[in-house]
Amino acid sequence: MFAHIEPMPNLTKRAPSLRLILGLVAAALFLAGWQLTARLGGLPSFILPSPADVWTRFLLVLADGSLLSHTLVTLTEALTGLLAGAVFATLMGYLIARSRVLENLLSPYLVASQAIPLVAIAPLLVIWFGPGMFSKFLICALIVFFPVLVNTVVGVRAVPAALHDLMTSLRASRAQSLLKLEVPAALPVFLGGLRIGATLSVIGAVVGELVGSDRGLGFLVNVGRGQYDTALVFVAVFALIALALTLYGIVALAEKKLLVWQNVER
Amino acid sequence: MTTVPPILTLRDLSATFPDNNGGLQALERVSFDVHPREFVALIGPSGCGKSTLLRILAGILRPSAGDVDFGDLRQPRVGMVFQQANLMPWRTTLENIMLPLELSGDADAETRARALIELVGLTGFEHNWPRELSGGMAQRVAIARALVHDPDLLLLDEPFGSLDALTRERMWMELSRIWQARQNTVIMVTHSISEALFLADRVLVLTARPGRVKLDLQVDLPRPRADEMRFTSHFGNLARNLKEAIE
Ligand SMILES: Nc1ncnc2c1ncn2[C@@H]1O[C@H](COP(=O)(O)OP(=O)(O)O)[C@@H](O)[C@H]1O
Ligand SMILES: [Mg+2]
């Protein structure tokens, strides 16, 4: 006799520890391969530093506080740019989704603007707005703008017509329809756009810093390259990866918390 | 028969949807009265404009001609059950049912929603998401949501169409119990003659598109109606009348 009906056991679900072990093994293999290539390949450290070199360099910049301060600069640029770009894109996306006239008026420009490689106009923005954080903030905001805009439009358009009918039959006001229907209905697609925007904004900040800056992780990459301090370049790159993953992770966590209703099992 | 003024008067109501050749006429000069606390069933072939009629009454669509007069009510509170449950997937059972009260700013929304949950037999499922509910349960949530703000007019669009026969008949019992307790005015679209005769005071048969009222039949079967009623000769006569009108 069975007391309960249970789903068939599932390896990936039942054994998170196994997944962790496999991940660690993969990381260890990668490091070992890297160390071997660097040592046996006879490559000088300014071409390919070994993991041990990078680790030593990491401890140095960590100790003198420079890694933290440059990371904070890039983080600030990426976050403020993400915020501004996302807010602007959301407002604009909502208006476009609600108005065919506005869509026909703006979408040719918006689509054309995507053909401009941001990397190519980054130098212009740095010339116009200086090597400080503001030009990077602008680049981030611009790069974040489009994916968030598109997903806002798609999300708002996808609100089921039948739910609009329900709100009308209940005599909901415009504001109530926005808050109780459109926002929650568009949220899954919107957050998908924000998740893409979060990684793009780190890229935007670094591109700006590489073009011209006196602070930030992109600046650190430039310094390392200029001084043949390749280990420092590696440290900066790893810091950037960590930064992008953190921002991505924050949005992914927000998705998980806000969209619980999507993830329940049937 | 009654001196109470109608709660709802339709006069020469027509509905035409724009299409490529001169417009598609869904309803043509539909006229009838509905009295307070009356339970009216609407029967008619697919595509004859039944849903369109309900959507006009709910204020979702505007008629292309004719008018709808709600008498003294002017702007009646409407509760509508759609062909699909039409729940908000990001709201739990309780939150879905509370929606109409939230919109009208009702203070004791939760207490009233919980009372409705008990009424439709969903106790224990207050905090489940719509995707965790079966079709029948979701439809009961939709019915509770349509009743929670004590609407003047309850509009039901084939509310039990998606349910299996057993659940459907249980829902008939529940609906007629709810209706007798609350005494709302109900207009229900259905495809089923026995459903109409089991629940309604009056059945309106519409013609094929464009829909017009073809038959207005009083159902004078005693209440409460039970299953055995179906085997009486009076029920048989009414059913035959309806069947002939529907063709
Ligand atoms: N929004 C709409 N736009 C165009 N045609 C519609 C629309 N809604 C309904 N119709 C058409 O009007 C007719 C009546 O539809 P409906 O009221 O849904 O019929 P029923 O509910 O009786 O099956 C159908 O031919 C349908 O295709
Ligand atoms: Mg219909």
Q: Are A234 and A54 in contact (CB under 8 A)?
A: yes
pTM: 0.85
Q: A118-129 and A183-211 are packed helices; what angle lies between their axes, rounded to 10 degrees?
A: 70
Task: Quote the percentage of chain A above a pLDDT of 70.
Answer: 94
B176 lines ligand 1 (CB under 6 A): no
Residue of B193, B121, B179 whose CA lies nearest to B146: B179
- pLDDT at position B195 is 92
- pLDDT at position B75 is 84
- pLDDT at position B2 is 54
The reply to whether B185 falls in a domain is no
The string of pLDDT tens digits covering residues A13-28 is 556 788 889 999 999 9
The reply to whether B131 falls in a domain is no
Mean pLDDT of chain B: 90
Protein residue closest via CA to atom 20 of ligand 1: B47
The string of pLDDT tens digits covering residues B42-64 is 999 999 999 999 999 999 999 99
**Res. A1 pLDDT band, cuts 50 70 90:** very low
Calculate mean pLDDT across residues A3-13.
53
Residue of B54, B30, B64 whose CA lies nearest to B216: B30
Question: How many other CB atoms sit within 10 Å of the CB of residue A248?
Answer: 17
**Res. B163 pLDDT band, cuts 50 70 90:** confident
Write the CATH number for B240.
3.40.50.300
Residues 62-121 of B with CB under 8 A from A: 75, 78, 80, 82, 84, 86, 88-91, 99-100, 102-103
Protein residue closest via CA to atom 21 of ligand 1: B51
Q: Are B235 and B222 in contact (CB under 8 A)?
A: no
Q: B209 vs chain A: nearest CA distance in angstroms?
A: 23
The reply to whether B184 falls in a domain is no
Determine if the peptide bond prior to B6 is cis (ω within 30°): no
- pLDDT at position B129 is 96
Residues of B in contact with A158 (CB under 8 A): none
Of the listed ranges A45-54, B73-82, B105-114, B157-166, the least confidently predicted one is: B157-166
Of the listed ranges A81-90, A103-112, A248-257, the least confidently predicted one is: A103-112
Q: Provide the token pair at A248.
A: 């991505």
**Res. B11 pLDDT band, cuts 50 70 90:** very high
- pLDDT at position A8 is 55
In one letter, which amino acid is A102?
Answer: L
- Count Cβ atoms within 10 A of the Cβ of residue B215 and give its class: 0-12 exposed, 13-18 middle, 19 or more buried: middle
The reply to whether B66 falls in a domain is yes
- Count Cβ atoms within 10 A of the Cβ of residue A203 and give its class: 0-12 exposed, 13-18 middle, 19 or more buried: middle
B20 lines ligand 1 (CB under 6 A): no
- Using alpha carbons only, what angle is made at residue B104 by residues B100 and B106, rounded to the nearest 5 degrees? 90
Would you call A185 and B90 a contact, using CB atoms and an 8 Å cutoff? yes
**Res. A69 pLDDT band, cuts 50 70 90:** very high
Residue of A167, A65, A212 whose CA lies nearest to B103: A167
**Residue for token digits 């017009």?**
B212
**Res. B162 pLDDT band, cuts 50 70 90:** confident
Q: Which residues touch B138 (CB under 8 Å, ≥6 apart)?
A: B85, B87, B130
Alpha carbon distance B181, B56 (integer Å): 27
Alpha carbon distance B16, B63 (integer Å): 8
Total domains in the fold of chain B: 1
Protein residue closest via CA to atom 12 of ligand 1: B26
The reply to whether B126 falls in a domain is no
Q: Are A153 and A182 in contact (CB under 8 A)?
A: no
Range(s) of the domain holding residue B46:
1-76+192-247
**Side by side, which strands form the sheet with B8-17?**
B24-34, B8-17, B65-69
Q: Are B53 and B74 in contact (CB under 8 A)?
A: no
The string of pLDDT tens digits covering residues B202-228 is 999 999 988 899 999 999 998 888 888
Calculate mean pLDDT across residues B3-20.
90
The string of pLDDT tens digits covering residues A169-187 is 999 999 999 999 999 999 9
Domain ranges of chain A: 15-44, 46-262
The reply to whether B205 falls in a domain is yes
B47 lines ligand 1 (CB under 6 A): yes
Res. B31: pLDDT tops 90 = yes
Instruction: Note the CATH number of domain A46-262.
Output: 1.10.3720.10
3-state secondary structure (DSSP) of residue B8 = strand
